[in-house]
Structure 1
């Protein structure tokens, strides 16, 4: 689906109670009100949910179930995962109900999105943030799931995980990161692998490009740029003061990347940041002909004047080997190394 439609969905009704902003502070939280979900253990039951786009084929669900079973987890499937309403996996209220029910069910230890697409913004008015705040659990996904990861952190303080969805490629690297981060609660450094092409004298792929040198500490927020921009002006966009922002995108022209960053700048959000990590912009090619900009030139336009540590080229986004990033966790960004070092465990033990 064409992701440019995301930016048209930033106007939502606001009917939710403000009490969930503080409700989570006494549950596995630190002094900042950040809530850490309990770690997963082998044999735990997770649920697959479809908060956005519909599945194309049932075999995709079968593959997702088998992938998580291979990691030692028991898998349930949300009631509405195979529903369809246009390009959505069912009605807005039904997709939200699967999420609310999973957070309410004490037997469910984590929620994993089966796929992205478009639709998470539309279910926000139906989510029970008070219920979620009282039952913190693992929430996992990327792309359109950016809406859920960031809104839950803003409204409840819950740490969640930007990483492969159910239909994504799950390889040994992703499984190892899952074990280290979500099963073991480890603190480690996330950076690109140092792999060289055959016979190459230096690394050609997965290279980091430094926008501003330096290192900085802060809490990590972000995800898909298009989706994040669609949240501007709503009560669901996280406070960006002192935060480290990570971004990625797919299938967008460079001028649209420029547009989205301009929106964040005009809203006063970029000026609040402490650091920026830009991952992959898959199929985001420069305009042909005279006068086009490269992605690096656009990023330099917005981030160089800020003087904050910033880099591009991180291995996260719409790529096969998609690194897992914990939203809400305190990290150290090192722009020169292109790394994000976890300074605290992303889960409670």
Structure 2
């Protein structure tokens, strides 16, 4: 067998192996019907897992544990959270095992990612989607955790939460939002906080910019644009038909944002949407010199022709005051107000 034939055979074998893993551990995608996790309550145990990047220092884990204890939760740390395999928090199989264990553990009522980074795509073939669907629990995280949130919604229908990870800043605002949404299951409006500069005559920070005016309703999906786009062509990208898509990113050139949106457009996903909320693109600066575009201009290129309600500037993403957004929940998007109104409780 020559090298080219060997490579083709090996690649086919890997694809068949991964396909068998998916079919063995998951049923047909079921995101058309959302599965709501039980709400958390004071004294519940949450598991901290590291499904992607390795922690830089053990003290980061200690801070995360203390933050959730301050909210009134007990904390159980995943077996492999402090492991390291290159830039990952352990092997793909071990990181997935911590997630499967947390969902199957009757003591654990919620699961929180310690950090993002990169690596969640690699563990998808090792997740037991059928078991997870039978044990719906709160799952919280963002950035690279976008893969888990949307992949689990697509394959198990699980409603999950795009919001701060364990090592994120946790203050009174974050704790209050977690209490309202995940403890109380409230139906309320998610919007930007008012400018804290009381001397300013008008809102200067956290401003909304309208791309297309109007309102739209649909189930909420999305997260980090880079990560979400990496799921195109896989069985883990959610069905976009009639959905409200929210997006954010960090440290990306404007031309890369253009590239990712072009990929979603060419895949026929943007044309299926009911509305779009774009949050923060932190450290995403226009190209220097002649011919550059602003972020707003790029978003207008893709969303204005669709005619669907769309806005940018939402208070979510790689920012300190990161609003929690529930994936899989029916919401009403109001582009003029820059808001998302929950039409149902995200927890049971």
TM-score (normalizing by structure 2)? 0.93
- 5 Å-filtered alignment, 1:57-96, equals 57-96=57-96
How far apart are the structure 1 equivalents of 2:19 and 2:322? 33
- What's the secondary structure of 2:304's corresponding residue? helix
Aligned to 1:14: 19
How far apart are the structure 1 equivalents of 2:30 and 2:212? 36
Deviation at 1:260, TM superposition (A): 0.2
- What's the secondary structure of 1:96's corresponding residue? helix
Aligned to 1:253: 253
- What's the secondary structure of 1:174's corresponding residue? helix
Deviation at 1:24, TM superposition (A): 7.6
How far apart are the structure 2 equivalents of 1:134 and 1:14? 22
Deviation at 1:226, TM superposition (A): 0.0
Aligned to 1:29: none
Aligned to 1:205: 205
Q: Which runs of 5+ in 2 are unaligned?
A: 1-13
Deviations along 1:72-101, one digit per CA (max 9) or x if unpaired, are: 000010000000000000000000000001
How far apart are the structure 2 equivalents of 1:240 and 1:173? 31
Q: Which runs of 5+ in 1 are unaligned?
A: 1-10, 26-31
How far apart are the structure 1 equivalents of 2:257 and 2:27? 31
How far apart are the structure 2 equivalents of 1:181 and 1:313? 22
How far apart are the structure 2 equivalents of 1:24 and 1:226? 24
CA contact (8 A) 2:213 2:310 kept: yes
Aligned to 2:301: 301
Aligned to 2:272: 272
How far apart are the structure 2 equivalents of 1:92 and 1:248? 26
- What's the secondary structure of 1:297's corresponding residue? helix
CA contact (8 A) 1:21 1:154 kept: no
CA contact (8 A) 2:29 2:154 kept: no
CA contact (8 A) 1:248 1:317 kept: yes
How far apart are the structure 2 equivalents of 1:156 and 1:22? 9
Aligned to 2:98: 98
CA contact (8 A) 1:64 1:114 kept: yes
- What's the secondary structure of 1:245's corresponding residue? strand
- 5 Å-filtered alignment, 1:1-349, equals 13-15=18-20, 16-17=22-23, 20-21=26-27, 32-348=32-348
CA contact (8 A) 1:245 1:276 kept: yes
How far apart are the structure 1 equivalents of 2:298 and 2:158? 32
| C-alpha RMSD of the superposition | 1.5
- What's the secondary structure of 2:248's corresponding residue? strand
Pair 45,24 (structure 1): closer, same or farther in 2 beyond 3 Å: farther
Of the structure 1 ranges 197-206 and 160-169, higher mean CA displacement relative to structure 2 is found in 197-206
CA contact (8 A) 1:45 1:110 kept: yes
Deviations along 1:17-46, one digit per CA (max 9) or x if unpaired, are: 278446989xxxxxx521000000100000
How far apart are the structure 2 equivalents of 1:271 and 1:35? 26
Pair 258,189 (structure 1): closer, same or farther in 2 beyond 3 Å: same
Query: How many residue pairs were aligned?
Result: 332
Deviations along 1:139-172, one digit per CA (max 9) or x if unpaired, are: 1100000000000000010000000000000111
Of the structure 1 ranges 124-133 and 256-265, higher mean CA displacement relative to structure 2 is found in 124-133
TM-score (normalizing by structure 1)? 0.93
